[in-house]
Each structure stands twice: as structure tokens, then as C-alpha cells.
Amino acid sequence: MIKLLITIDTEAHRGKNPINDWIFGNYKNKEYGINKIMDLLDIFNFKGTFFLDIAEYWTYGDAIKEVGETILSRGHDLEMHIHPDHFTKNKNRLFLHQYSWKEQYNIINACTSKFKSLFGFIPVAFRAGKYGANYDTLNILHELGIKLDFSAFYANNWCKINPLLSINSLSYYDNIIEVPVTVFKSFDLLKVNRVDSISLDGCNFFEFCNVINNVIESKKLDVIVLMLHSFSFIRRDYKYLGDMIGINWHTLKKVQRELKFLNELCNKKLIENVTAQGLAKKIENQEVKVEEKDDYLPSSGGKIFQYLCTLERSYLIFGKNKKATLFILFNLIGVIMIATILLFFLF
């Protein structure tokens, strides 16, 4: 049975009240951050794996301890995430791969020690901030006793685990097990290709369902890793400080539908929800095997379907993402040109 991990990167980077605006999401006396995410997970009998940016302890202090304790108190999995600039205070080096082996070791070792002192255990899993790991990162994780790395992201320029060990399959690097973010072919038209993660907040609902069904039918992957962020339901002012300005109801309702869909698959025994801790135990007990096998890149569907999903996704982040904005403008220009030609011939 395919193992399903729902991973939530939990982080707060800037703003007047970043812990609230990016993590807890208190808005009009209700919470729409991690507690809302856990509410939804609980409704559908899921356990999430929360990757907490422990480097933010050097920015926000014991507020990070409160975040971790909130997650643990509700029975979800807490693992380690690192955006190194919170530790180094160097905003020109946002990725771990921009640091030397010695610098990375100092960062990751200090964060691992802080994680243990705050929560009483060493994390079993790690994900680099912005997926910005390299092979030095993996070697250091091995030295520090961390078993699973979740940083690999195929076709993502920020990830520097080059060459990648796999696209979507589990793989060993020494004694570290690489658990990639599960990706799919989201666009393939006129020699233009795009790969995206199976993101609960980023995918179109039907696109999401198609990809999950594709993976199940293929029987080629043992694990699916889904993405979400602590701020996925929060609308923020991207132009300035990133302060919360409202709630993203569209995403919240869509994620609820996706979790219901996944719950139905669990009830049919097609997938099984596990956490990073649970996956490590299943690998140790050989219930999940890490072995060389044919890799697999699922697709969301036909070319027209891919085009329409890409159009919707670009519309939702128009003005926030350069590529999405250009894609929308390109399509608008195309529509205007076609309309102009039609008018010319009709009149």
C-alpha cells in the first residue's frame, strides 16, 4: 500500500507580527494557521509532519518553542526545517548550499542541538529551507544521526543535490534515506515542459485527484509526499512586509475537499497515511523497502487539461510570480489577436 505523507513547512520570515501572520494566523478571533490545518487533518483522521524552521529561534526566541509544543500537544509529528539566514543573519545567502561544509555543519549542528533542548528528542527527518540542500548537507545529516532527508525536489533550481538520486522514488545516500517531494508533469505543450510538486494549496482540485490516481494506478511509487505551508490559508501583503490581510477561503475549501478525497482512498485501502517518524519505523521494519527500481513521473492529464490547470494556477498568483504573470499576459495577448482577426474577417 502506498504511504502518504502530508508535510507542512512551518515558518515565519518577516512582518510586524510574523509568528501570528505566518504560523498561527489569528484573524478576527479565529485561527487559520497551523491549528486550522491540524483541525482539518483531525477531521479526516490524518497525521501531519510539520517541518519547523528551528533557525528562527535565533530570530524569535521561545515563540518557536510554543509553536513546536502546540504541534506535539495535538499528536502530530514535529521535524526540523532550516532557513539558514535566521541563524547567520546573512540575507544574501538564503540557501544552505551557499555555505561551506564547515559553515553548514555549524548551522545544522546548532539547530539540531536547539531542537533537542527545546523538545527533548533529535528529529528523525529534515528539510532544507527552499529545498536548498546539497551533498554536504546530506553528509552532515548523517553525522548528526538524522535518518531521513525531505529536501530533494526534481527540476527545482534551488535544490542543489546534483545529480539527484531519483525523481520520486526513495533512495539511499550512505545511511541517509532521501524522500523526495513528489512531483508531476503539469505542463507539456509545444516543447515547453513544467514539473510541479503535488501541493495541496497549489494544485487545481481535479489536477490533484488525477495525479494521485495516476500514482496509485501505476503501482510504481511506494511513497507520496504532499506539500503545504503554515500560511497556506492566509492572505498576506506580498508587496511590503508580508503582513496578514485576510483569509484565502478558496484554498481552505479546496484543501478540505482534497483531504476528503484522500480519506476516501485511505478507507479503500489504496493509500496509508504515515508521518516521517512512522515512515522511518516502517523502513526499519522492512515494511517499506528502499531499493533500486524504475522511477516514475506522473502526469496530471491530457495537454488541454494541463493548459487549463496552468492557466488557473497562474491566475491565482498573478502579480506575485513573474512566470505566472507573463503566462497570463501572453494568453491575453493571444485572445486579443484572435478576436482582432475574427473581427477583421467578419466586418
Determine the Cα–Cα distance for residues 226 and 154; give it in Å rounded to an integer. 14
* Residue 146 pLDDT greater than 90, yes or no: yes
Give CA 195 to chain center in angstroms. Answer: 14
Q: For residue 49, what are the β-bridge partners? A: 7, 77
Q: For residue 272, what are the β-bridge partners? A: 3
pLDDT at residue 343 in the model: 66
Identify residue 165 by its one-letter amino acid code.
L
How many percent of the chain have pLDDT more than 90? 78
Mean pLDDT of the 291-299 span: 86
Mean pLDDT of the 148-153 span: 98
Identify residue 5 by its one-letter amino acid code.
L
pLDDT at residue 298 in the model: 95
* Residue 326 pLDDT greater than 80, yes or no: no
pLDDT at residue 141 in the model: 98
pLDDT at residue 249 in the model: 96
Indicate the DSSP class of residue 14. Answer: S
Per-residue pLDDT tens over the stretch 88-123: 999 999 999 999 999 999 999 999 999 999 999 999
pLDDT at residue 191 in the model: 75
The full DSSP string for 94-159 is -SGGGS-HHHHHHHHHHHHHHHHHHHSS--SEEEEGGG---HHHHHHHHHTT--EE----TT-TT-
* Residue 242 pLDDT greater than 80, yes or no: no
pTM: 0.92
The three cell numbers of residue 61 are 526566541
Mean pLDDT of the chain: 92
Mean pLDDT of the 220-224 span: 96
pLDDT at residue 322 in the model: 73
> Which bin fits 301, alpha (ψ -120 to 50), beta or left (φ > 0)?
left
| Sequence ranges of the domains in the chain | 2-301
- Strands, E assignment, the chain: 2-10, 26-27, 30-31, 48-53, 77-82, 125-128, 148-149, 171-173, 176-178, 183-189, 192-197, 223-229, 234-236, 244-247, 271-273
Q: For residue 193, what are the β-bridge partners? A: 188
pLDDT at residue 346 in the model: 66
For residue 239, name the pLDDT band (cuts at 50, 70, 90): low
Which of 263, 248, 184 is CA-nearest to residue 218? Answer: 184
* Residue 236 pLDDT greater than 90, yes or no: no
pLDDT at residue 291 in the model: 80
* Residue 192 pLDDT greater than 90, yes or no: no
For residue 255, name the pLDDT band (cuts at 50, 70, 90): very high
Q: Which class does domain 2-301 fall in?
A: alpha beta
Per-residue pLDDT tens over the stretch 20-67: 999 999 999 999 999 999 999 999 999 999 999 999 999 999 999 999
